[in-house]
Chains A and B, each alone.
Chain A
Amino acid sequence: MRISKLFIDRQVVDLPLTQSIQARLDVPAMIVQSARQVHEMVASTPDPVQSGKEILYLSRNQGAFFKRCPGTRHYTCCDYRILHIGTFCYMDCAYCILQTYFHPPVLEYFVNHEDLIAELDTVFAQKSIFRIGTGEFTDSLIWTLWTDVAKLLVDRFAAQEHAVLELKTKTTAIEQLQNLNHNRKTVAAWSLNTPKIIHSEERGTATISARIDAAARCEKWGYPLAFHFDPLIIYDGCERAYIRVIETLFSRLSAENMVWISLGTLRFPPPVKAVIQKRFPDSKIGYAEFVSGSDGKLRYFKPLRIHLYRKIIACIREHAPDVIVYLCMEDDEVWQKTLGFTPADVGGLSHMLDMSAAKHCHLNLDAIPESATTRTAGGLDFTATGGKRQGREVPQSLRVKPGAQHPVGKTQSKS
């Protein structure tokens, strides 16, 4: 990480958080009249994507902090909510869609935290189950180098019982999470990949062993964990390599403490391909068998996705039959052929994940009718009776019925 210059929007110059970040960063600072000034400066450089990673722009979030995740109607979305604390990242992943999502992308942090807190309070007041993450438009933990944002959010979420915060990262920047009274309302989550992909496509990120070490420390501190094998990247030997990562994961961490594991194969809007070719000339990830998905993104040919998912799910099931595994942005056909059921069979993906969050994070389920929480599908029992009702802890289920054989297991044994 090499932040070489700080840009401060004139609107936020006097905010205490601005001054605190400025003191911690100790780099030349410049006050700007508007975002345009920063964007023009970044856009005029030979590699705006790289330049956007080397400056930090402190500004006021003019829009909402709390947003829906931008899924598409063509594939099953998990109804995730985003807490928009900032944009972009100083790490440099070849496949990152943020390279073309913002024009130009700039490492930007919103310092009007009083508005953020007010919005969060409104969300909590709804007393509905929400899964909220800060890691969609940025990495959740990079900001802990200059701010106390993790502490702020963990404390806030700990004081309520309907929503969970997911801090998703590729770093090991977990120091701020230690000694917090998190009340299990924060899920520490890592994006995982194989050593080869991390080395060649995820510049500046932590190694796989470092990520798992960090997760182990968080588990020791009592945090529920989650993992995202996303993007899964197909290359010669990838199946064996992913299986090795999964084996390491379960050798170090407790499956019972994992709220969910998501899987998603590589996909990106077509313009990202040209950016990869230009910024990562040695990368081969853009030359796989892609088709144009129903959402317009390039994604692997469906049978290739299904094949890889099956291998990985079978391996996860072998180590952790009870852990909730879901697919990110896939259709019913892929769900059925890999997990053995569709989201509709379990009341919807959102419901399935809400129930897992309720179980692991002890959420209050009063707002959800009990009739909506009994599901079985694909040999798995999704009866969601974890969490609390009217202040009482209720029995935890969400597990494979005794004797049930998962269809993926059947598929594997056939092949």
Chain B
Amino acid sequence: MDSNLSDDRKASEEIPPDHTVRYRTISTVDIDTEDLTFRITTSSDIEDLLGSIQKIGLIQPPLLIANSPGYTIVCGFRRIAACRKLGWTRITARILEKSVDRFKTAQLSIADNALQRSLNLVETSRALELLDDFGPDPQQRREAAEALGLPISRSVAPTIKKICRLPLSVQEGILRETIDLSMALELGGLNPATAGDLVRLFDHLKVGLNKQRELLLLVTEIAKREDISIQQLIGEQPLLDMLQKADPDRAIQRQQIRSLLRQRRYPAITEAEANYEKQVRQLKLGNQIQLVPPKDFEGTTYTLMLHFKNRQGLIHLNAKINEILENPALGRILKR
């Protein structure tokens, strides 16, 4: 049996028995393609459909609802776009009467998507939001969500619902898996253009969540302290140059950008760290001795770590320690 046909029947069965659906051939110009009320899918790609519709025809007619003077799309946004692109002026569609309850219409739209494939996070969010928009009460909305396989947990569902209200660039970031849900929600607190710039920055640098968080914190705090916008900061030299470098080594670029931002956010601390490293280099410790400063130079206790395998090795290090003690760089380190 043709699987599409089977799904079509399944979807038709979801139509409540008290409302009839009629097959009609209608003009494509009567379809309001601007009304995205019931759109669930995040895909706008129609290339895959063009070939199949051209060869086989429209196997599963879209579902529309009468909405004088024309029709609103309930299911089949991509199919209708493909038909229009193919130059079809008339298509056969399933038409719901204008009087059909909008909550039930919303469920049909969700079912058409959710029963054929797994919804991504943005689609799940749109589906939950759709139920919220038309569901008469929380109990009915919850039951509908459960029946449609949508998340209903009180700890998860409210968070997911927020996604479809985030700037489009952030939603796209989620779909491309550049950012995860927690980062998306953090970016959602920023203005849409800034959020978009940051998603592009993360995408460009190919950084994971922890580094994203660090970069976000750095740029946010620098911007607030200096009374500039994050966009202005990202657009400044030399950061911009670094980002625009052709064929960059991502690892080096990530390191350079992190250092640059950290230096600007913590000028005194980074300077002290650099000075410390400079003095330690002058001690010529080698790879068997490590001198660890107090954390953030707050305490006063330094740690000297020795790596050796035998008595001879320790004797060698002992001599090395005596050299270190004579080195003026040690005095400069301890004097701070």
List residues of A whose CB falls within 8 A of some B CB: 284, 286-289, 291-294, 299, 301-304, 331-333
Contact = CB atoms under 8 A, between A and B. Distances in A.
A301 B297 contact: yes
Contacts of A293: 298
A109 B222 CA distance: 41
A286 B225 CA distance: 9
A303 B272 contact: yes
A302 B266 contact: no
B20 to A, nearest CB: 49
B268 A294 contact: no
B296 interface: yes
A304 B269 CA distance: 9
A301 B222 CA distance: 17
B267 A289 contact: yes
B154 interface: no
Given A294-B298, A301-B297, A289 B269 contact: yes
Contact of A289 (B266, B295, B299, B300): B266
B316 interface: no
Nearest to A333: B300
Contact of A291 (B221, B222, B296): B296
Contact of B224 (A284, A289, A291, A292): A284
The size bracket of the interface on B is 10 to 19
Contacts of B266: 289, 301
With most chain B CB atoms within 10 A of its CB, the pick from A291, A292, A299, A332 is A291
Nearest to B221: A287
A301 B296 contact: yes
Nearest to B223: A287
Interface residue SS majority, chain B:
helix
B296 A292 contact: yes
Contacts, number: 42
Interface string B289-301: 0000001111110
Contact of A301 (B225, B272, B299, B300): B272
Contact of A294 (B222, B269, B299): B299
Contacts of A332: 300
A287 B227 CA distance: 12
B208 to A, nearest CB: 24
A332 B221 CA distance: 32
A284 B225 contact: yes
Nearest to A291: B296
B297 A302 contact: yes
B224 A301 contact: no
Given A291-B296, A293-B298, A333-B300, A304 B268 contact: yes
Nearest to B224: A287
B269 A291 contact: yes
Nearest to A332: B300
B222 to A, nearest CB: 8
A379 to B, nearest CB: 21
Interface of B: 221-222, 224-225, 266-269, 272, 295-300, 336
Contacts of A331: 299-300
A378 B272 CA distance: 28
Contacts of B296: 291-292, 301-302
Given A289-B266, A289-B269, A302 B298 contact: yes
Nearest to B220: A287
B262 to A, nearest CB: 11
B221 A301 contact: no
Nearest to B272: A303
A312 B32 CA distance: 72
Contacts of B300: 331-333
Contacts of B299: 294, 331
A289 B297 CA distance: 13
15 contacts: A286-B221, A287-B224, A289-B266, A289-B267, A292-B295, A292-B296, A294-B298, A299-B298, A301-B296, A302-B296, A302-B298, A303-B268, A303-B272, A303-B336, A332-B300
A289 B264 CA distance: 10
B133 to A, nearest CB: 26
With most chain A CB atoms within 10 A of its CB, the pick from B266, B268, B300, B336 is B268
A230 B178 CA distance: 45
Given A292-B296, A333-B300, 8 more contacts: A287-B221, A289-B267, A292-B295, A292-B298, A299-B298, A301-B272, A302-B296, A302-B297
With most chain B CB atoms within 10 A of its CB, the pick from A284, A289, A299, A333 is A289
Nearest to B296: A291
Contacts of B224: 284, 287
Nearest to A337: B336
Contacts of B225: 284, 287-288
Q: Ordered nearest first, which 5 A-B pairs have the shortest CB separation?
A: A291-B296, A287-B225, A287-B221, A289-B266, A301-B269
A289 B221 contact: no
B191 to A, nearest CB: 14
A292 B225 CA distance: 19
B314 to A, nearest CB: 32
Contacts of A302: 296-298
A293 B222 CA distance: 22
A217 to B, nearest CB: 39
B134 to A, nearest CB: 29
Nearest to A287: B225
Contacts of A286: 221
Nearest to A283: B224
A340 to B, nearest CB: 16
Contacts of A284: 224-225
A238 to B, nearest CB: 14
Contacts of B267: 289
B186 to A, nearest CB: 13
A301 B266 CA distance: 9
A122 B297 CA distance: 44
B298 A291 contact: yes
Nearest to A74: B299
A286 B297 CA distance: 20
B182 to A, nearest CB: 16
A327 B6 CA distance: 80
Nearest to B271: A303
A175 B153 CA distance: 59
Contacts of B297: 291, 301-303
